[in-house]
Structure 1
Amino acid sequence: MRNRLFIVEGLPCSGKSTTSSFVASFLEQKGSICFVDEGTGNHPADYEFHALAPAGLVSDKEEIVSLSQFSGEMFDKLLQYKIYDFLPWEKEMPLMLDKWRQFVQTSDENTTYIFNCVLLQNPMCETMMRFGFSVEESESYISKIVDIIQPMKPVVIYLKNTDIAESIKHTANERPGWLDDVINYHVNGNYGKQIGAEGFEGYIKCLEERQARELRILCNLSLEKLIVDNPQRDWNSAQERIRNFMMTL
């Protein structure tokens, strides 16, 4: 049975979008693909911008709705029920696992799927950064996802970055306002508060620990994986290594 799910992971500014596009282009030569980049808003295995609206707010029953469909006062009301960032973990986790199950059940057996993050990044932002859970708790949750997607023979390509601060600074120059937002998110989350993170340096400390945890978790997961060290230093070499790896699958 062939690998039907490829997931590119790594820290912000590590080159996930570029690498995901490269992987998609390579796999497209072999057959039908579905490439889902980060931030699409309608992810088949994720609730990027959705809320769990309580009964009586949108309809007469509790339901998951896309926040992109709403604006104004209704948007503000729904935002407090956003699945990421707002729901308590005991409500969020089963919703996310069910979403993964739905994806596997409805996926096209003749299509290869390529995702930018969602297996490590999104769960770690919630379990580690938002809730301050231990690495063991994060791994337990991520392992549940891997168990669900095993029928698709998942493959993870991880972009390891030891130039984290430099990569963030480079990207920040191209995205006005972005850096302030991500710093606030990280230093004000439970993990950031646990370590007393402040400002840019605190943000980088959060990312360094997140990467260390992700690599530890990844090494324990039962799936095909490739870890690419510092691809940003030589993209041609990194892509050649990724190409050679995929040809062995």
Structure 2
Amino acid sequence: MKPKVVLIEGLPGSGKTTTARLVHEIFTEMNVKSQLFLEGDLDHPADYDGVAFFENNQWDELLSTNEEYRALLSRHGIQQGDGGIFLEYRKLKNTYESDFPDQLLNIVFRNDVYELPLEPHKKLITKRWKSFVGNVLTGSETFVFDCCFIQNPVTMGMIKYGAEKEDVISYVTELSATVERLNPLLIYVEQDDLEHAFRKAVQERPIEWSEGFIEYYTNQGFGLKNGCEELEGTLQVLKARREWEEDIFNRLPIAKYKVNNSSYEIDEYKQVLAGIVSQYFR
């Protein structure tokens, strides 16, 4: 059975997005029908981005304290069969702009799936993956996912909440067990020099990205527990994260490869990826 999902993982700045795009490009050249979903895709079939979740009582409170927007919220709230409501607030903001004001956006954001406590977050994400597997199991397409399989659980568990390592590993292995029916292929992108790769990303990306990243990594969870501060502290957290992800990678019972993207030679790198992919899609 050919893989129905290719999972691209690696540390920030390693080249995950480039790798995901190249794999999708390789599939196109091989006449393999595939869909590419990058980080932040609002239509991701196995993840949530820009989506808030409310328990029924929380939803009622949101409506009662925002009467002016009750009709809009009620019209777009997505009821769940087992309780709770999803609100795709980023899509609403993009659609309604000033009619969905920042004040309301900030209120809704507090219930973003990635702002929830770890256990309810994990429950929602695991359910999302199970739904995705069920929906695509009998289809013919292959899906290429960028960083939602290892990175997101590690970021939530380790970086945001400072959870125990074994609990984070358990989270990822549960996702692995869920997706195993799709015969997944994991490609993990590495860099020889983590510090150089991250500093390069900081230089190349907008300052808002680096400031937000550093704050996220040092002011909560693992970074806060270990007294990590500013850029140097962020690098300490990233080095610890690399060790955790190495352990996770070694434990996963799925087809997996490590690829080195240190040279940034795109043509040579693409050939390496094509060699890996071709083993499964002949």
Shorter-chain TM-score range: over 0.9
For normalisation by structure 2, the TM-score amounts to 0.83
Question: Given that residues 104 and 152 in structure 1 are in contact (C-alpha distance below 8 angstroms), is that contact kept between their aligned partners in structure 2?
Answer: yes
Match of 2:86 in 1: 64
SS in 2 for 1:228: strand
Query: Structure 2 CA distance, aligned partners of 1:158 and 1:235?
Result: 16
Output one character per residue of 1:100-151: Cα deviation in whole Å (capped at 9) or x when no partner: 0111111261100001110011111001101111221111011111111111
More displaced stretch, 49-58 vs 3-12: 49-58
For normalisation by structure 1, the TM-score amounts to 0.93
Match of 1:12 in 2: 12
Query: Structure 1 CA distance, aligned partners of 2:123 and 2:269?
Result: 37
Query: Structure 2 CA distance, aligned partners of 1:31 and 1:245?
Result: 15
* 1:82 counterpart (94, 102, 112): 112
Aligned length: 248
Question: Given that residues 53 and 85 in structure 2 are in contact (C-alpha distance below 8 angstroms), is that contact kept between their aligned partners in structure 1?
Answer: yes
Question: Given that residues 159 and 231 in structure 1 are in contact (C-alpha distance below 8 angstroms), is that contact kept between their aligned partners in structure 2?
Answer: no
Match of 1:37 in 2: 38
Question: Given that residues 231 and 238 in structure 1 are in contact (C-alpha distance below 8 angstroms), is that contact kept between their aligned partners in structure 2?
Answer: no
C-alpha deviation, 1:208, in angstroms: 1.1
C-alpha deviation, 1:211, in angstroms: 1.4
**Residue ranges of structure 2 left out of the alignment (5+ in a row):** 63-72, 94-99
C-alpha deviation, 1:76, in angstroms: 1.7
More displaced stretch, 157-166 vs 198-207: 157-166
Question: Given that residues 15 and 261 in structure 2 are in contact (C-alpha distance below 8 angstroms), is that contact kept between their aligned partners in structure 1?
Answer: no
Alignment RMSD (CA, Å): 1.7
More displaced stretch, 20-29 vs 227-236: 227-236
SS in 2 for 1:219: helix
Match of 1:125 in 2: 155
Letter in 2 for 1:103: F
More displaced stretch, 134-143 vs 237-246: 237-246
SS in 2 for 1:35: strand
**Residue ranges of structure 1 left out of the alignment (5+ in a row):** none
Query: Structure 2 CA distance, aligned partners of 1:215 and 1:95?
Result: 25
C-alpha deviation, 1:30, in angstroms: 3.1
Question: Given that residues 190 and 261 in structure 2 are in contact (C-alpha distance below 8 angstroms), is that contact kept between their aligned partners in structure 1?
Answer: yes
Output one character per residue of 1:70-98: Cα deviation in whole Å (capped at 9) or x when no partner: 432321211111110x2112211111111
Question: Given that residues 5 and 114 in structure 1 are in contact (C-alpha distance below 8 angstroms), is that contact kept between their aligned partners in structure 2?
Answer: yes
Query: Structure 2 CA distance, aligned partners of 1:27 and 1:238?
Result: 15
Question: Is 1:240 matched up with 2:271?
Answer: yes
Distance 1:246 1:80, change over 3 A: same
Question: Given that residues 132 and 189 in structure 1 are in contact (C-alpha distance below 8 angstroms), is that contact kept between their aligned partners in structure 2?
Answer: yes
Question: Is 1:106 matched up with 2:162?
Answer: no
Q: Which has the larger radius of gyration?
A: 2
Query: Structure 2 CA distance, aligned partners of 1:175 and 1:245?
Result: 30
Query: Structure 1 CA distance, aligned partners of 2:269 and 2:243?
Result: 20
C-alpha deviation, 1:42, in angstroms: 2.0
Question: Given that residues 15 and 232 in structure 1 are in contact (C-alpha distance below 8 angstroms), is that contact kept between their aligned partners in structure 2?
Answer: no
* 1:94 counterpart (120, 123, 134): 123
Query: Structure 1 CA distance, aligned partners of 2:49 and 2:122?
Result: 14
Superposition pairs of residues 55-204 of structure 1, within 5 angstroms = 55-56=59-60, 57=62, 58-59=73-74, 62-68=84-90, 69-70=92-93, 71-72=100-101, 73-84=103-114, 86-107=115-136, 109-177=139-207, 178-204=209-235
Question: Given that residues 160 and 221 in structure 2 are in contact (C-alpha distance below 8 angstroms), is that contact kept between their aligned partners in structure 1?
Answer: yes
C-alpha deviation, 1:47, in angstroms: 0.9
Query: Structure 2 CA distance, aligned partners of 1:50 and 1:112?
Result: 25
Query: Structure 1 CA distance, aligned partners of 2:14 and 2:42?
Result: 21
